[in-house]
Amino acid sequence: MGGGPGHRGGAVPTPQGLRIAVVVPQEAFAETLASSLREGRHDVVILPSADEALADARVPQADVVILSVDPLDARGFAVAKLIRDQAAWRKPFVVAIALHSDPALQYQARELGVHLYLEKPVDLDRLRGVLVRFHHLLADVEGFDPVI
């Protein structure tokens, strides 16, 4: 995952940032989101559909997966379910973005292991702040040496 604006493939890890998969079908929104996250030195890949995300092996390997959820299209939740059901010991931090506030969607998101539920318009400063805190936590966990 990596590259400049509009990048949609190729894995080039960035050790300074998180590996983030953006699964959002609205291209302009996905590009804006990716550009904002790349400013934080994160390695971002855009997957424009849940079907692509379900078939892409990079999604479970990501540190963070940001996905669009819609009550009329369950495929975004299928990606969350795939991540929840994977066998890996460290699962990605999952962020769901919805068009509007919907208690039923929020409940379904929690049930599928979504860590953060946001509504449009997305507060990018809040999202970046959460990701900074998650990145620090992840670095602490990965840097933990159990040998005493």
For the entire predicted model, the pTM comes to: 0.82
Quick one: CA torsion of 141, 107, 73, 34, rounded to 10 degrees? Answer: -30
What contacts 28, CB < 8 A, 6 or more positions away? none
Write out pLDDT tens, residues 58-70. 787 899 999 999 8
Write out pLDDT tens, residues 10-28. 333 335 799 999 999 999 9
As a whole number of angstroms, the distance between CA 5 and CA 23 comes to 15
Of residues 83, 143, 94, 84, the one with CA closest to residue 116: 94
DSSP 91: P
